[in-house]
């Protein structure tokens, strides 16, 4: 949820904004990171496997308890205000579909925290600041949801775990905002570990920390093609996956092996070719995540690169969520990386970012190849980030 960035890190900017706007000292400061998904796209709402990491860009909330039940919220990057009352039913902001879309993430989390913890009736003043690029596929929304959830948990002394906070964030996004996302974004924002990727089983919620190999860089390149997942494409992909699960007679596509899929592929294709393509992506992507975990553990970056390449091709051809600009960025990154790592689209799709994993000595070659060619072909100027796998939500 960021449009204009201050030069201060979000943690300092949120505190400064609080003092400037409310004219007293804050009591609480929480911070939740955005994320980049290394592999495992759209598998989360299919009860499958993903492997993201939290990044060193995120959202901070500085705030203090009030004596009444009013929530006054200032989004410092947007210079916008929101106000609602915890003693009344929490509904969407009148302009939640427009400029005030960010209010849905805050209101939705507070609403579902109240549903789970009816004793939560405490008002608060909050100032929010973030530096996750908006509509980039790096989960600015999840960072805001998890930060809001953690803030409320501390404010009310609520017995909520970080996993529960993550799931409340997902519920807010699904039911209040209307995007049928899975639970990956909120879980990694809540549970991220420094210097590690996190393999998440999105059904059991079991996690396994997978170290980022020594000397390996996580690069993110923003295409500046904006996406908006609440618009129908994301939700239609989810429906298609559910149709495929119904065809196979299983709870979710996570339960279909590659062998089973291949056995019935022709039959499903005859029934609905689009649904068959969507299912193919999910079934093969789940296996790619498991294979990538093993490859990373043995330090086989070449194999990881092959799997990332296959993942991208599958998102382009079977799930059909890439755009030409993203495909071109992946091609440019891969040219510079060669066989020592990989690149792929990351996030929900239809724009946003690519992620690349490669030895640190490849950073400049990747940066230069993209800088030399991307803008010439697309008319858009990329933004290049080198990120570090970071801790999840924390109290500062």
What are the tens digits of pLDDT across the range 147-158? 999 999 999 999
- The mean per-residue pLDDT over the stretch 303-319 comes to 98
From 75-79, 321-325, 346-350, the region with the lowest mean pLDDT: 346-350
Q: What is the pLDDT of residues 27-45, one digit of tens each?
A: 999 999 999 999 999 999 9
Look up residue 82 and give its two tokens: 């929101």
96/6: higher pLDDT? 96
What is residue 6's predicted lDDT score, i.e. its pLDDT?
58
Q: What is the pLDDT of residues 174-196, one digit of tens each?
A: 999 988 888 999 999 999 999 99
pLDDT grade for 231, boundaries at 50, 70 and 90: low
1-10, 218-227, 307-316 — which one is most confidently predicted on average? 307-316
Burial of 391 (0-12, 13-18, 19+ CB in 10 A): middle
Please say if 185 is a catalytic residue. yes
Say how many C-beta atoms besides its own lie within 10 A of residue 359's C-beta.
15
Task: Indicate whether 3 pLDDT > 70.
Answer: no
Task: Indicate whether 227 pLDDT > 70.
Answer: no
Residue 41 annotated as binding? yes
Contacts of 28 (CB under 8 A, 6+ apart): 61, 62, 63, 64, 151, 154, 155, 395
Say how many C-beta atoms besides its own lie within 10 A of residue 207's C-beta.
17
Residue 373 annotated as binding? no
Look up residue 364 and give its two tokens: 């400049």
Residue 236 annotated as binding? no
Residue 312 annotated as binding? no
What is residue 326's predicted lDDT score, i.e. its pLDDT?
97
Residue 129 annotated as binding? no
Residue 44 annotated as binding? yes
Q: Which residue(s) pair with 39 in the sheet?
A: 51
Residue 311 annotated as binding? no
Spatial separation of the C-alpha atoms in residues 180 and 238, rounded to whole Å: 7
Question: Which helix (H) or strand (E) segment is 50 a member of?
Answer: strand 49-65
Residue 139 annotated as binding? yes
pLDDT grade for 4, boundaries at 50, 70 and 90: very low
What is residue 291's predicted lDDT score, i.e. its pLDDT?
98
End-to-end CA distance of the chain: give it in Å, rounded: 20
CB 307 within 8 Å of CB 357: no
Spatial separation of the C-alpha atoms in residues 344 and 367, rounded to whole Å: 15
Q: Which domains does the chain have, with CATH numbers?
A: 10-212 (3.30.230.10), 216-387 (3.30.70.890)
Residue 137 annotated as binding? yes
Residue 234 annotated as binding? yes
Among residues 85, 185, 291, 318, the one annotated as catalytic is 185
pLDDT grade for 7, boundaries at 50, 70 and 90: confident
Strands 207-211 and 196-201: antiparallel
Strands 394-395 and 28-39: antiparallel
For residue 251, which phi and psi values (nearest 5 degrees)?
Answer: -65, -40
């Amino acid at each position: 949820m960021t449009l204009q960035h201050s030069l201060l890190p979000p943690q300092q900017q949120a505190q400064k904004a609080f003092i400037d706007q409310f004219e007293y000292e804050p009591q609480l400061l929480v911070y939740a990171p955005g994320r980049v998904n290394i592999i495992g796209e759209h598998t989360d709402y299919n009860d499958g496997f993903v492997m993201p990491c939290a990044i060193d860009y995120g959202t901070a909330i500085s705030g203090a308890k009030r004596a009444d039940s009013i929530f006054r919220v200032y989004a410092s990057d947007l210079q916008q205000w929101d106000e609602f009352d915890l003693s009344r039913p929490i509904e969407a902001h009148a302009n939640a579909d427009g400029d005030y879309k960010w209010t849905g993430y805050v209101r939705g989390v507070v609403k579902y925290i109240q549903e789970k913890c009816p004793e939560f009736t405490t008002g608060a003043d909050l100032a929010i600041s973030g530096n996750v690029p908006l509509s980039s596929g790096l989960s600015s929304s999840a960072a805001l949801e998890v930060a809001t959830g953690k803030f409320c948990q501390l404010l009310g002394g609520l017995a909520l775990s970080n996993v529960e906070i993550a799931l409340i964030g997902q519920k807010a996004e699904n039911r209040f905002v209307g995007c049928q996302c899975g639970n990956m974004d909120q879980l990694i924002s809540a549970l991220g570990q420094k210097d590690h990727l996190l393999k998440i089983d999105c059904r059991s919620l079991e996690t396994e920390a997978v170290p980022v190999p020594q000397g390996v860089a996580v690069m993110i390149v923003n295409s500046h093609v904006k996406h908006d997942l609440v618009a129908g494409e994301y939700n239609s992909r989810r429906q298609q996956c559910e149709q495929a699960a119904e065809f196979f007679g299983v709870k979710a596509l996570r339960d279909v092996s590659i062998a089973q899929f291949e056995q019935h592929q022709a039959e499903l294709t005859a029934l609905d070719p689009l649904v068959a393509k969507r299912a193919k992506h999910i079934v093969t992507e789940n296996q790619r995540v498991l294979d990538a975990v093993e490859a990373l553990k043995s330090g086989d970056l070449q194999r990881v690169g092959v799997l990332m390449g296959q993942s991208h091709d599958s998102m382009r051809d079977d799930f059909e969520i890439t755009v030409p600009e993203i495909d071109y960025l992946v091609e440019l990154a891969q040219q510079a990386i060669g066989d020592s790592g990989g690149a792929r689209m990351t996030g929900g799709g239809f724009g946003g970012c690519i992620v690349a994993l490669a030895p640190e000595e490849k950073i400049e070659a990747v940066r230069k190849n993209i800088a030399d060619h991307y803008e010439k072909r697309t008319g858009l100027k990329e933004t290049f980030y080198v990120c570090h796998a970071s801790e999840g939500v924390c109290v500062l």
